[in-house]
Amino acid sequence: MRIALSLISAAAAVGFGTASAEVIHPHKISKGDAAGPIFSQPKVVKESHGANTTLDNIVMKSSDQKFESGMYKSGPSHFDATKRDYGVDEFMLFTSGSVTLTSLDGTVTKLEAGDAVILPAEWRGKWDTEGYTKYYVIYSRTGKGM
């Protein structure tokens, strides 16, 4: 018993079982925040592309910059990725609106609120929407995003 207590004390002295300098917590997006307030936070990135405005709340980015997750909101837009790859592996869960993805071979994938999709970085096609909101998780091999 005395030996076990000595080992525990020694481990504590060298840092085992003690809190590290930085405590890491989970990143939660509450149902209430996801309903809209998440896009009014100061860290939200707002961009305008012609008549379309997008809002991006990056909730978490990995230390190597290759993994990113958050919520994204867009108005009507068209994105053409027929001449170059999409660029990132992305999981998306749509909470409102809809998106139509048309792959190079003409296959159409219609996504609506409640639907999820995974786009490989090598995907090529067209993206059309009248607007949507989504949760997203992106993996970028280069760490540079899209």
pTM: 0.81
Whether the predicted pLDDT of 2 surpasses 50:
no
Percent of the chain with pLDDT over 90: 77
Exposure string (b/e) for 75-89, b if CB count within 10 Å is 16 or more? bebeeebeeeebbbb
pLDDT tens for 22-78 read: 999 999 999 999 998 999 999 999 999 888 999 999 999 999 999 999 999 999 999
Using alpha carbons, list the distances in angstroms from residue 62 to 47, 57, 109, 138: 23, 15, 30, 11
How much is the pLDDT for 143? 82
How much is the pLDDT for 146? 58
